[in-house]
Structure 1
């Protein structure tokens, strides 16, 4: 745990490292990367740190959980270079990304809510009229264009077992019926949410088997929890960065 430091106090690399559970090499690496301000050197070349460096290190470590290593590093580099506006822009971009992730999650939930009633409608559909129109389906090109995807992406999802279009008996072309289209849309949303194909496949299989939202509730709850934790971490990081900015003057 970091101890309280007095203004003007000098710290060795090992003091700064131990106070934050790091190695001395990590502290030196952070300085060389511009995450920490440059340290003063003794006549023998030994580094000497101050409470300002400790505040910079606390800010960086607090930024990491909410923004990730690349953005946290870029923010500290910008601040230490006197480019505060650039640092604020980077933080804004992280908040925009978090908002986008929340919107993606909401879209996934909306898509899932429609699975059960749509599946039931498909099973009970008539042999002519709207049911027959759905049964005829759509081909891979128009579907890919509608979703802003490449046909190769849909073929890759098929190979991964995520979608299972039937083949037209005359042409051999892939035909996506309404249930297939729902699966494609769901995969698309989950991919946007950062899920890997190997994690999506069992989710899709469970949804097909259960015909509803229930199999994904635990995953969605975990997703909500991770986004909430990230949002809170951003608040903690903002407070630590503000403390560093005040200390820097």
Structure 2
């Protein structure tokens, strides 16, 4: 092992050990194009270099901010010499983060402007409400089964009728779903809002949401620094004689 490292040649286990990974995980990353291709010894064993080690550091640094799929796509684009595609993926992640921040602001604004639960029945139906939220009626029915919205039924037609309070609940559910919360996480919050007659139960959720967005933003900065270091470290793309 020491001779391999001194010569700049590394085994899968040498790369894996630094990050607490298995050697198989390193081989899988190479097979998926997340790491550049490795050379083989005459006996067929993979040999990596510090370049591969730097690629692995970059990928693992990208994971917390971008998620596995996007982080993998970024590295794969770089290794097929499509750096512009990689940078576009990074830009899209930042745009999504900004959109998530806007979503959080919208949730906070909606909560701030919530009116007391109205006493009069509303006359909004599943189709118009679905179009307002940009979701399918089937989604509203799924939320109803989960107890997140509770429309009454018209005694004549049997159609669902959403009151102003139901619309408010649907708007909150929609915003929280966009913020990444699961239905089972949202249900108790909606129930507590109904029983408490206010939005105080959501304050801790909003603080947690802020913290998660900030952590993701910082993780993107860390990933960008590691990727920039890798781009400076890696060999220049091979050019043909015709070029």
Q: When the two structures are superposed, what TM-score results if normalisation uses the length of structure 1? A: 0.87
User: Would you say 1:171 and 2:157 are equivalent positions?
Assistant: yes
Q: 1:211 to 1:15 in 2, by over 3 A?
A: same
1:34-183 alignment to 2 at 5 Å? 34-115=33-114, 118-119=115-116, 122=118, 135-183=121-169
Give the match for residue 230 of structure 2.
Answer: 244
Cα deviations by residue, 1:44-64 (Å, 9 ceiling, x for unpaired): 122221111111010001001
Gaps of 5+ in 2: 236-243
Post-superposition, which runs of at least 4 consecutive aligned residues in structure 1 deviate over 6 A? none
The structural deviation recorded for 1:171 is 3.0
* CA distance in structure 2 between the partners assigned to 1:49 and 1:185 by the alignment: 52
**Which residue among 150, 154, 174 is the counterpart of 1:188?**
174
Gaps of 5+ in 1: 1-5, 124-133
Q: SS of the residue aligned with 2:121?
A: helix
User: Would you say 1:235 and 2:193 are equivalent positions?
Assistant: no
* CA distance in structure 2 between the partners assigned to 1:136 and 1:56 by the alignment: 58
Q: 1:20 to 1:139 in 2, by over 3 A?
A: closer
The structural deviation recorded for 1:228 is 0.7
Give the match for residue 241 of structure 2.
Answer: none
Over the aligned positions, Cα root-mean-square deviation in angstroms equals 1.8
The structural deviation recorded for 1:167 is 2.3
Q: Number of residues paired by the alignment?
A: 231
* CA distance in structure 1 between the partners assigned to 2:63 and 2:175 by the alignment: 26
